[in-house]
């Protein structure tokens, strides 16, 4: 294409005529130019918006330019702000067109007009009000002007043809004005009007002005003015169809998109059945391909091309359905929730079905069926409603891999034409995969830092996980090591299912990558490397939990045996010992996984080492005991978010496995020497600090356990 966007401007060159408009225009020109009858004639060319009326007028004007006895005037009523201005300018335009073609020394029409009126102030550039406008249009003046024009045209052997376009795009009062003008002047001999407009639009406007209860008044008014009503020849649908597909092909070439044979077949099949019946004019085809010219390049490699081309077709040709899709994501993507009983499921199916059918009520039964078939292709879960075919969640992986509009991960892209701040470009993902094949881990880490941030980390890791089964061994290693070195970048908000946040998903991704390695030895050595390369103890521990295991309950040939897992836990405990000991005084609130780290260290490290570390921390800082208790306290999730709840018996038991509870009791007593043990468990305490609340809860639990021992 010579330009990015295909103009839907009317054509002038007959060689560009794709819809057989030129012969039609030639015939009209011939009839007008060869007409011997001096009486005026008004030709109406009827056609809907975008059907080519202006191109026909262009062709008529071009044909008449070669006729020496014809004067052509292209009058544009859009230029004028009010009716008086339009009427005055029509006569001056008419006079100018005639005067330019007068060869004799006769008085010109323009000079004749000056006797009656001055040009409007807006045209002369003056501020005073133009004089004479009203008198110009008196019956006597118009009659004298008519006679003068007729005599001049007869003497010069000229016929004037007035072409008026876009009448249907004027405001209603302006449409009335145009037809008053035509009615006023159309009886001037040797003149011909060619008016191009949408008959339905114009007759409706005239109906409001001149109509009564009889709905045909607008048409009757037109019939009195239009002497030769001509409808634009119907465009051969095959010509229109071919035109549309040629334009689509040009857009694909411009966008550097090559569809496979199966994709071409898929698009053509659903476009032809679901969208093509609504293609009526060349302008619609231009509008559609111009939209594709925008969306295809900007979303190239980011969405499924066939889906994008089809949904843009829905946008242009079936706009109500497009709005329904855009504004009701769940209607088209979500499963019907089972578990409420068969009757509930059927009611929900019927509700969704009615919602979609409501948007299709203006279409015929056959058209609606074809549109529904198209929607069921774009959104397969609709088949559960319309065809009793169920697509389960196992299909969602495939839809995501193919970047389809029915995938929750991709749906929004089709309507925003952009990668949102919570999304990640597939091209960026592909670039990272390519780097992971050919470059070092350092390069991959730098690239991930460019792409991933706190807002899109969840999407980023999810995409990597979905693709991980196809990674090569080298990609698996480089990407797993890269993520292990970026664990602190992964958001780790406290939530009910902690493993589902980006932090936990990052660790599970590393587990996915380890499973891709070929041998048991390679998997073990690489897992060991991950433990030491993780950028924090917390993420190292999370990675250990994410390693796949091979157990009797959950057999996995590529998982770690009990012995291998224990060896890896020992490696981690060694790192915990080294890192925490080197750190000296620690802030427990910075280690969300502190209880897990202590548990691993205590179970797999040197005997008593974790206990001694905790004891030293308490000795060095009495407040550390409260940080420790708070770290072991569970998080409660509710309507208004999450918060730390009460210390429970299981938390007490976990602490007891690490350190003697008496050490905790002694540390509490140093801060709260006179703290008595509550009669009942102090779950809800008002007006008490968090440290005191934890202290009283721990003391109560410790006392409860000791009493149990005594009994």
For every residue of 361-405, DSSP letters joined together read TTS-HHHHHHHHHHHHHHSGGGHHHHT-----GGGHHHHHHTT-T
Under the banding of pLDDT at 50, 70 and 90, the label for residue 119 is very low
Question: Hey, which of 164-168, 304-308, 344-348 has the most confident mean pLDDT?
Answer: 304-308
Q: What is the mean pLDDT of the chain?
A: 86
Where is pLDDT greater, at 182 or 17?
A: 182
Structure tokens at 577: 């010992």
Looking at residue 141, its pLDDT comes to: 62
Provide mean pLDDT across the span 665-677. 92
Residue-level pLDDT at 123: 39
CA gap 64, 32 in Å, rounded:
9
Q: What pLDDT, on a 0 to 100 scale, did the predictor assign at position 296?
A: 94
pLDDT of res. 135: 43
Helix (H, G, I), strand (E, B) or coil at 452: coil
For residues 79 and 262, give the distance between their C-alpha atoms in angstroms, rounded to a whole number.
52
How confident is the model at residue 582, as a pLDDT?
78
* Alpha carbon 641 to its chain's center: 31
Query: Token pair 């948007």 is at which residue?
Result: 359
Tokens of 89: 């300018």
Q: Average pLDDT in the 602-617 region?
A: 94
What are the tens digits of pLDDT across the range 421-461?
Answer: 889 999 999 999 999 999 999 999 999 999 999 999 999 99
pTM surpassing 0.85?
Answer: no
Taking the CA atoms of residue 577, residue 583, residue 584 and residue 589 in that order, the dihedral angle to the nearest 10 degrees is -100
Q: Report the candidate in 330, 332, 312 with the shortest Cα–Cα distance to residue 322.
A: 312
| 268-289 b/e (C-beta count within 10 Å ≥ 16 → b) | eebbebbbbbbbbbbebbbbbb
Of 134-148, 420-434, 592-606, where does mean pLDDT reach its minimum? 134-148
**pLDDT tens digits along 283-342:** 899 899 999 999 999 999 999 999 999 999 999 999 999 999 999 999 999 887 655 555
Element (H, E) at 459: helix 457-467
Mean pLDDT for 552-557 is 91
Give the confidence band of 470 by pLDDT, cuts at 50, 70, 90: very high
- Find, among 516, 544, 518, 515, the residue nearest to 529 by Cα: 544
pLDDT for the residue numbered 176: 84
| Among candidate residues 523, 530, 525, the one with its CA nearest the CA of residue 479 | 530
Q: How far apart are CA 207 and CA 189, in angstroms?
A: 29
Enter the tokens of residue 20: 């057989």
pLDDT in tens, 199-254: 888 888 888 776 555 556 778 888 888 989 998 888 788 888 998 999 999 999 99
The bridge status of strand 159-164 relative to strand 191-197 is: parallel
pLDDT at 624: 92
CA geometry: angle 673, 676, 679, nearest 5 deg: 165
Judge whether 557 and 550 are in contact, CB under 8 Å.
yes
Least Cα distance to 24 among 58, 48, 50, 49 occurs for: 58
Mean pLDDT of 52-75: 88
Tokens describing residue 548 = 């796949």
């Amino acid at each position: 294409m010579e330009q990015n966007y295909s103009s839907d401007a009317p054509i002038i060159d007959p060689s560009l005529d794709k819809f057989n408009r030129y012969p039609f225009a030639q015939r009209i020109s011939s009839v007008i130019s060869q007409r011997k009858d001096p009486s005026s004639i008004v030709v109406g060319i009827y056609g809907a918006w975008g059907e080519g009326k202006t191109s026909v007028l262009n062709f008529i004007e071009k044909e008449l330019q070669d006729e020496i006895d014809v004067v052509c005037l292209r009058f544009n009523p859009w230029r004028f702000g009010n009716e008086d201005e339009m009427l005055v300018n029509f006569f001056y335009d008419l006079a100018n067109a005639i005067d330019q073609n007068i060869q004799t020394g006769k008085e010109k029409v323009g000079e004749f007009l000056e006797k009656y009126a001055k040009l409007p102030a807006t045209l002369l550039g003056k501020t005073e009000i133009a004089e004479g406008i009203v008198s110009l249009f008196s019956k006597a003046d118009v009659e004298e002007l008519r006679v003068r024009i007729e005599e001049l045209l007869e003497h010069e052997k000229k016929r004037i043809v007035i072409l008026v376009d876009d009448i249907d795009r004027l405001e209603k009062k302006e449409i009335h004005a145009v037809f008053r003008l035509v009615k006023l002047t159309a009886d001037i001999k040797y003149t011909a009007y060619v008016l191009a407009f949408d008959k339905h639009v114009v007759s409706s406007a005239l109906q409001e002005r001149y109509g009564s209860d009889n709905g045909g008044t607008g048409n009757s008014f037109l019939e009195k003015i239009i002497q030769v009503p001509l409808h634009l020849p119907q465009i051969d649908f095959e010509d229109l169809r071919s035109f549309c597909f040629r334009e689509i092909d040009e857009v694909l070439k411009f966008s550097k998109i090559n569809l496979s044979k199966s994709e071409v077949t898929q698009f053509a099949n659903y476009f032809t059945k679901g969208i093509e019946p609504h293609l009526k004019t060349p302008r619609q085809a231009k509008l559609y391909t111009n939209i594709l010219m925008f969306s295809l390049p900007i979303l190239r490699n980011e969405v499924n091309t066939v889906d994008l081309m089809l949904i843009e077709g829905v946008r242009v040709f079936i706009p109500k359905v497009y709005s329904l899709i855009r504004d009701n994501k769940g209607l088209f993507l979500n499963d019907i929730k089972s578990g409420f009983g068969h009757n509930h499921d059927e009611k929900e199916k019927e509700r969704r079905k009615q919602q979609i059918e409501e948007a299709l009520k203006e279409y015929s039964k056959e058209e609606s069926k074809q549109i529904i078939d198209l929607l069921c292709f774009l959104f397969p879960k609709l088949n559960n409603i319309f065809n009793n075919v169920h697509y389960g969640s196992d299909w969602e992986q495939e839809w995501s891999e193919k970047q389809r509009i029915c995938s929750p991960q991709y749906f929004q892209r089709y309507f925003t034409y952009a990668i949102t701040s919570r999304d990640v470009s597939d091209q960026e993902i592909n670039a990272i995969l390519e780097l992971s094949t050919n470059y070092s881990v350092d390069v991959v880490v730098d690239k991930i830092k460019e792409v991933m941030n706190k807002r899109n980390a969840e999407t980023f890791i999810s995409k990597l996980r979905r693709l991980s089964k196809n990674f090569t061994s080298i990609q698996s290693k480089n990407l797993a090591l890269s993520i292990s070195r970026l664990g602190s970048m992964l958001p780790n908000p406290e939530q009910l299912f902690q493993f589902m946040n980006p932090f936990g998903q990052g660790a599970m991704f590393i587990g996915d990558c380890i499973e891709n390695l070929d041998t048991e030895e390679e998997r073990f050595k690489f897992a060991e490397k991950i433990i030491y390369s993780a950028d924090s103890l917390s993420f190292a521990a999370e990675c250990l939990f994410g390693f796949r295991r091979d157990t009797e309950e959950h057999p996995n040939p590529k998982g770690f045996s009990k012995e291998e897992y224990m060896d890896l836990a020992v490696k981690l405990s060694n790192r915990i010992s080294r890192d925490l000991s080197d750190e000296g005084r620690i802030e427990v609130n910075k280690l969300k996984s502190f209880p897990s780290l202590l548990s691993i260290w205590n179970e797999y490290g040197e005997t008593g080492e974790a206990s001694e570390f905790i004891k030293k921390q308490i000795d060095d800082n009495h407040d550390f005991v409260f940080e420790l208790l708070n770290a072991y306290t569970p998080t409660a999730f509710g309507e208004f978010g999450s918060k730390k709840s009460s210390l429970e018996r299981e938390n007490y038991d976990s602490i007891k496995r690490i350190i003697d509870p008496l050490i905790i009791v002694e540390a509490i007593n140093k801060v709260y020497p006179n703290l008595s043990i509550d009669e009942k468990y102090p779950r809800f305490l008002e007006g008490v600090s968090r440290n005191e609340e934890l202290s009283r809860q721990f003391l109560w639990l410790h006392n409860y356990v000791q009493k149990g021992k005594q009994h």
